Structures are given as C-alpha cells and as structure tokens.
Amino acid sequence: MGHLRTNVAFAAVAIASVFLSGAVLSGYLSTAPTGFALRLGYFPNVTHAQALYGIATGAYERALHQALGMDFSIQPHAFNAGPAAITALLSNHVDMVFVGPSPTLNGLSVAPDILRVIAGASSGGALFVVQPYVNLTTDAGYGGKKFATPQWGNTQDIALRHYLLTKGHRTLDQGGDVDIINVANAEILTLFKLGRIDGAWVPEPWGTRLIKEANGKAILDERTLWLETNGEFVSTQLVTTKRYREQHPDVITAFLRAYVNVTLLLQREKKSDLEIINGEFKNLTTSSLDEDIIADAFGNMNVTYDPIAPSLRTYLAWTQDLEFLSRDVRLDSLYDLTLLNQILEEKGLPPVTGL
C-alpha cells in the first residue's frame, strides 16, 4: 500500500507539472514586472546567507535607492525550497530568487530560454544525516530505509536520489526499496527527533541541527562527491528572468554591486555578521540558532558570487539519469554574467565564467 501511495503521489506531481507549465508561461507572458520594488525570493537557510544578511541590514535597499535616486524597496518572499520559488519566478510573483540548481533545471525544462543565472551564491552546505542506530556501511543497508528531503525535485532531493542510485537502489516511486518523503526542513527536524525517519539530506543549518539537536550522525558531506572540482559545486545561485534582465539592467546592476560587497564581507565573516544572519533566520522561523550551530553550518559551505557553472552540467546529468528531465534540456542560454563581470572588473577582481 505504501508503494501504491507513493506511485500515486509521483503521478500526481508529474500531471500537475504539465498543467503548471501552461499556467507559469501564461503568468510570465501576461504580467508586467514591478516598477519600484524588487521582489526577492530566498529561503531560511544558511546557504542563502547573502539574502539573509542583505535583507536584515537593508544593504540592497540602500544601494538601489542610492543608484536609482528614488524610493526603491526590497520586497522579500521566503520559501521552503526551490520548486516553489522557481514557480513564483516564472509566474511573475517574484523578480529574482536565490535557488538551487535542480529547481533551476526543472524551470528550464518547463520554460526554455526564460530563466537567467546572473550570479552564484553558495557552494557546499548540504549533509546526509542519519539516526545514530542506522548502519549504512554496506550498500544493502539502504534497503527499506525512510529518508527525507525538503521538497520533491529540489536540489537535495535529486542529490539523494542519485546517490541511492549509485548504491544500487531506487526509490519506491520508481519501483525501488527506499522511501523518500518530502517535508519542510523544520518538520524534518521534528520527524527525526521522533524517530519517524531514518535520515535526511538537507541544506545548512538543518544538517548541523540534526546532529547537535537530535543526536544525528553525518555520513556524508556532499562536497566529498565533487572530487573533480575540489569539493566546489553550486548549491545556491541567483536567478532572474530574461525579460527582467532586459528591462531592468539598472536595478540588477545596483543590486549586484551591493551583492558582491556582501559576499566579500561574508567570505571573512565575523561573529557579529553571523548574529545578523541568525536574527533574520529567527524572523523567518520564530527561533534562532545556537552560536555553535550557525558557526558550524557556516563552516560547511562557502559563500561566493561564482555560479560554478560546470557543476550544473553534473546536476543535469543526475536528473536525466533519474529520468526526471529529458535528454533534450539545454543550458546554452541559461547564464548571463555580463553585469556581474562588469562589477568584478570595476573592483579589480577576476571574472567568472558560464558554460
């Protein structure tokens, strides 16, 4: 029965995606971007540190006001995971989002030549954490287990599913023997504490919270899967639409100029910077993190404006191996790093590259 329920859920999501594609494109084509506000999507994750810090300090709003000479506001929109954020971007409910690679690829498959990656945000910051009694020393140990990720098709969900594939396992919805449930990060923590899941693949700070607050053990830091790039891979990037990029280059330039400054500051973060990020995390989740948790979570990732574009090809291959996306999805037009590289040149910093 559990297998049947999962297959029904999988089919429902697939069918919903078909209808969603039409609704998304209709909203994108029929709605005009906002004039005097930048609607910015992000998550209450440490991997979205520049969003949390810049919103909390007002850095982006001040930069836009100064550059454009008008009252220009930042309207923040918080999401739990990437698929919802990409849907909001494509349906013109936000103008720019911090989001992971897998939802970006899903959006690209639904709406070719609409999305644009304009900067990177973070590398790393994802852990696979299991209960202390779970033994996964052999590939056979994964059979019959129940794991959690933040949302179906989000970056951690794809990473876990592909990792299981390398261990010889598929998930129940694909005829396999491993169950994956998709719930919000805060609920994952609760379920883990109650012993109702065997483990979870989650972004920071949730991985560190599972370890420190629920006695979990990390069996994998995702950085160890990226040996060919010395542990560097895109976990969060800054994405807008082609139309917004073309119609509002002044807004994006002003934002990116402040964004690069925030990124450089957080690359050498101080305790006071983490306190600011923690304060915004509390605003979004109603609870703050212990100092050691946010410090450890920050140590498991790197903040960067480089989108680490080659790693997206690997994510695309993973989604195709899992048969989530067709082999026809192309990345040719996804990156537009022109404005970012102009700003980096102004600062005497080396440019970043796309594909």
CB-CB contact of 220 with 84 (8 Å): no
Tokens (6 digits) for 156: 């951690």
Sign of the four-CA dihedral 336, 339, 342, 347 = negative
Calpha distance 203→156 (Å, rounded): 7
pLDDT tens column, 152-164: 988 999 999 999 9
The pLDDT of residue 35 is 60
120-126: average pLDDT: 96
The pLDDT of residue 140 is 97
CB-CB contact of 40 with 96 (8 Å): yes
Structural element, H or E, at residue 158: helix 155-166
Tokens (6 digits) for 295: 């410090």
What is the pLDDT confidence band of residue 206, given thresholds at 50, 70 and 90?
A: very high
52-81: average pLDDT: 92
**Average predicted confidence (pLDDT) for the chain:** 89
pLDDT tens column, 239-252: 999 999 999 999 99
Q: Rounded to 5 degrees, what are φ and ψ at 154?
A: -80, 180
193-212: average pLDDT: 97
267-284: average pLDDT: 96
Calpha distance 234→124 (Å, rounded): 7
The pLDDT of residue 93 is 96
Tokens (6 digits) for 48: 């979205």
Calpha distance 334→104 (Å, rounded): 9
Side-chain half-sphere exposure of 50, counting CA atoms within 13 A = 31
In the 3-class helix/strand/coil scheme, how is 259-276 assigned residue by residue? HHHHHHHHCCCCHHHHHH
Sign of the four-CA dihedral 299, 121, 213, 222 = negative
Residue with tokens 């040149």: 345
Task: Check whether 335 has a pLDDT greater than 90.
Answer: yes
Quick check: do 23-125+233-346 and 127-229 share a fold?
yes
Among the listed residues 121, 93, 107, 78, the one whose alpha carbon sits nearest the alpha carbon of residue 27: 93
Instruction: Say which residues have a Cβ less than 8 Å from residue 38's Cβ, sequence separation at least 6.
Output: 60, 64, 72, 73, 74, 75, 95, 96, 251, 255
What is the pLDDT confidence band of residue 120, given thresholds at 50, 70 and 90?
A: very high
Residue with tokens 């048969």: 323
Helix and strand element counts for the chain (H, E): 14, 11
37-56: average pLDDT: 96
Give the number of other Cβ atoms within 10 Å of residue 41's Cβ.
25
Q: Name the residue ranges covered by the structural domains of the chain.
A: 23-125+233-346, 127-229
3-class DSSP assignment, residue 138? coil
Task: Check whether 351 has a pLDDT greater than 60.
Answer: yes
CB-CB contact of 59 with 258 (8 Å): yes
The pLDDT of residue 338 is 97
The pLDDT of residue 153 is 87
The pLDDT of residue 71 is 83
Give Cα separations from 52 to 58, 129, 281, 323, 327 (angstroms): 10, 25, 7, 34, 36
Across the strands, what pairs with 226? none
| Strand 126-130 with 73-78, pairing | unpaired
Calpha distance 34→25 (Å, rounded): 17
Calpha distance 92→287 (Å, rounded): 30
The pLDDT of residue 193 is 98
Task: Check whether 24 has a pLDDT greater than 80.
Answer: no
296-303: average pLDDT: 95
**Would you say how long the chain is, in residues?**
355
25-34: average pLDDT: 46
Fold of 23-125+233-346: D-Maltodextrin-Binding Protein; domain 2 (3.40.190)
- Percent share of the chain, pLDDT over 90: 81
Task: Check whether 278 has a pLDDT greater than 90.
Answer: yes
What is the pLDDT confidence band of residue 18, given thresholds at 50, 70 and 90?
A: very low
CATH number of 127-229: 3.40.190.10
The model's pTM is: 0.86
What is the pLDDT confidence band of residue 168, given thresholds at 50, 70 and 90?
A: very high
From the number of C-beta atoms within 10 Å of its C-beta (0-12, 13-18, 19+), residue 293 rates as: buried
From the number of C-beta atoms within 10 Å of its C-beta (0-12, 13-18, 19+), residue 267 rates as: exposed
Task: Check whether 31 has a pLDDT greater than 60.
Answer: no
Tokens (6 digits) for 308: 């680490």
Task: Check whether 207 has a pLDDT greater than 50.
Answer: yes
Among the listed residues 176, 240, 218, 235, the one whose alpha carbon sits nearest the alpha carbon of residue 2: 176
Could you list the beta-strand ranges (E) of 206-268. Answer: 217-221, 234-241
Task: Check whether 5 has a pLDDT greater than 70.
Answer: no
